A = this chain, B = another copy of it.
Amino acid sequence: MSVTMKHVQSFIERCMMAVGTQLHHARSLAEVLVEGDHRGHFSHGLNRMDMYVKDIKSGICAKDGDPVLEKESAATALVDGRNLLGPVVGNFCMNLAMKKAKEAGIGWVVAHGSNHYGIAGYYAMQALKENMIGMSFTNTSPLVVPTRGKECTLGTNPISVAAPANDGDSFVLDMATSAVALGKVELHDRRGDPIPEGWGCDAQGKLTSDPKKVLNGGGLVPIGGSEATGGYKGYGLGMMVEVFCGILAGAKYSEHVRTWKVTDRVADLGQCFVAINPENFAPGFSDRMSDLLSIQRGLDPADPHTPVLAAGDPERTNMKKCDEMGGIPYHINVVNHMNECAKTIGVSKLLPCDNLISN
């Protein structure tokens, strides 16, 4: 079944407000989650709302206040996220980065005291509206085992870079620095399917195709998989994100970040937001971007059924599909689970019948 984006948005807003979130904070969170689902990143959408509800309800995440600018230059800033919802911190920082990029050519803003902020791409893409390059990085709870190790000491630490081309087209890279997301391993486990070699390792640090071993004492591995196939590069990229986030911002980092789904203490995540104004560099940026995208998309594919894409294209296809069906397609289990969650906090359901769209 599909649900209109408007209805998902207002459902998340009323759930968050029911537990005491300020309207504009709830709205920021809802926008990021809806965008996650719209782009097809269901692991970072409505599916995760209960985590945010729980964080606000338990008081482990702050429901009131504003991020605070701690240190500033023409092109840089350090922000204290005041333990507010990730999207509240993210929007504050990304707006600041864009403002600085307009004036100084670049804005590089880092925040400590933040929380999960949804898809990294949401913030990077804000810069597209101003014809600028946007970047966003965050550290996360340890789920990734460094090359040669057997313990998780790095998060999936995503990198997002968005760059504007002509006529609304764009390049949008939004990727974890692990080979895959944890959700993909969980999905294979539920289905009883093996995972491809190079996704995760067991508790002894050995690559495995058994998802159960990855989930029970093992961990995800960095992009590149084994050391022989370049996994040390993915490990290095995960560390790079940590340098830009936890280390530069003075937030928690590496194994000091709290365990995934254990909310016994504040998250204090580190995040980094960058905007770059192409006008400060060579004229004709968006023309060259369009040409670069055309070159790749126009390539003769190895398999005629799978065309060569550019980063952001799979998401574009998903958005088009949603728009054509008039809403976001959710699995009935997700809808039921969210309605259960809504019930416990006394909020009306996601789906009054007249909003149902069959597909």
Interface positions, chain A 158-201, Cβ under 8 Å from B, are 159, 161, 163, 171, 173, 175, 179-180, 196-199, 201
Q: Mark A305-333, 1 if CB is under 8 A from B, else 0.
A: 01111110000000000000000000000
Which listed segment binds B: A59-67, A83-91, A103-111, A349-357?
Answer: A103-111
A213 touches B (CB below 8 Å): no
Least Cβ distance of A251 to chain B in Å?
A: 8
Interface centre among A206, A229, A281 (most CB of B within 10 A): A281
A19 touches B (CB below 8 Å): no
Sorting the interface of chain A by its residue count into under 10, 10 to 19, 20 to 34 or 35 or more gives 35 or more
- A302 with B148, Cβ < 8 A, contacts A106-B108, A292-B239 known: yes
Q: Check B282–A250 contact: CB distance below 8 A.
A: yes
A262 touches B (CB below 8 Å): no
Inside 8 A of A278's CB, which chain B residues have their CB?
248
Which listed segment binds B: A29-37, A38-46, A48-56, A69-77?
Answer: A69-77
Number of copies of this kind of chain in the complex:
2
Interface positions, chain A 239-254, Cβ under 8 Å from B, are 239-240, 242-243, 246-250, 253-254
Q: Would you mind naming 6 contact pairs between A and B with Cβ atoms under 8 Å apart?
A: A71-B281, A148-B302, A150-B301, A161-B240, A236-B311, A242-B292
CA distance A153 to B240 in the complex (A): 26
Q: Check B236–A175 contact: CB distance below 8 A.
A: yes
